[in-house]
Amino acid sequence: MSTIILALSIYFLFWFIGLTLIKNAGYIDIAWGLGFVLIAWTAQFVYAQPIGWVFVALVSVWGLRLAYHIGKRNLGKPEDFRYQNFRKEWGKNYFIRSIFQIYLLQGVLMFMVSLSFIEGMSKDHVHTPILYGLGILLFIIGFAFEVIGDAQLRAHTSNPANRGVLITTGLWSRTRHPNYFGESVLWTGLALMSLGLNTSFIPLLGALTISILVRYVSGVPLLEVRMKKYKGFEEYAKEVPIFFPKIK
């Protein structure tokens, strides 16, 4: 119960800041990474299990990196196109609808995704080392996809010669969305770590939630719409899978 209260409180604070102080809802994306860090640290102080520090370390590295990456990308920039569209579509109702459909909704989703590690942090020892080790391995792989994919995209877009040119190199030649694929993999890793600590199957619900979100709701579909505007996208889409990387 305390976890969902904390998650909702984080987003209510960002709602107030984004709506009244900076008038830019795009900064809510920074709360996504930071929120999980706060949840992990809070859970550790509640459960106080030594093995819980592993979860704290992994979630903190991921969350702080993501918050820094998004904050640096959005700093001084116009509001993200998604939130601009919401302002136009909702008009006078934006004030009320934004509370529930942007901020508090993300707080609920944050709680759902955090199920990947919360129960695991309450355990005192590894019950199934193979599952636990596999989970750590998947986290590392997923995190690598995120970090490398973001770095390659940043290098591509920072080159003026690439203006209007679709990135098709590096990890982007294997999957059209390496960062979102990595997101799904690393949360699956955290869930498997929890299962390795003899938890219920609830952690898998958290991993499934984030996987569905990035693949079918707020991640891949929205970016696919933008990518289709680039020249050569149809040929690129025929060669490169939308999510799971091709091996050859």
118 domain-assigned = no
Rg of the Cα trace of the chain?
Answer: 19
- DSSP characters for 14-50? HHHIIIIIS--GGGHHHHHHHHHHHHHHHHHHHH--T
Identify whether residues 70 and 98 lie together within a single domain. Answer: yes
Of 53, 82, 113, which one is at a domain's C-terminal end? 113
Do 104 and 145 lie in one domain? The reply is no
- Both 96 and 203 in one domain: the answer is no
Say if residue 102 is in the same domain as residue 131: no
Q: Are residues 159 and 106 in the same domain?
A: no
Which domain-ending residue is among 113, 148, 181? 113
Q: Is the dihedral of CA 145, 148, 150, 152 positive or negative?
A: negative
Domain boundary among 72, 93, 113: 113
Residue 21 lies in a domain: yes
The pTM assigned to this predicted structure is 0.88
CA 117 → CA 41, 53, 114, distances in Å? 12, 11, 6
Residue with tokens 């707020």: 218
- By residue range, what is the domain housing residue 145? 125-248
Which DSSP symbol is given to 77?
Answer: S
Closest CA to 208 of 113, 107, 105: 113
246 inside domain: yes
**In this structure, are 148 and 99 located in the same domain?**
no
Number of domains in the chain: 2
AA letter at 69? H
Same domain membership, residue 214 and residue 135: yes
- pLDDT tens string, the chain, 248 residues long: the values are 566 666 566 666 666 665 655 566 666 777 888 889 989 998 999 899 999 999 999 999 999 999 998 888 777 666 666 677 777 777 777 777 777 767 777 878 888 999 999 999 999 999 999 999 999 999 999 999 999 999 999 999 999 988 889 999 999 999 999 999 999 999 999 999 999 999 999 999 999 999 999 999 988 998 999 899 998 999 999 999 999 999 87
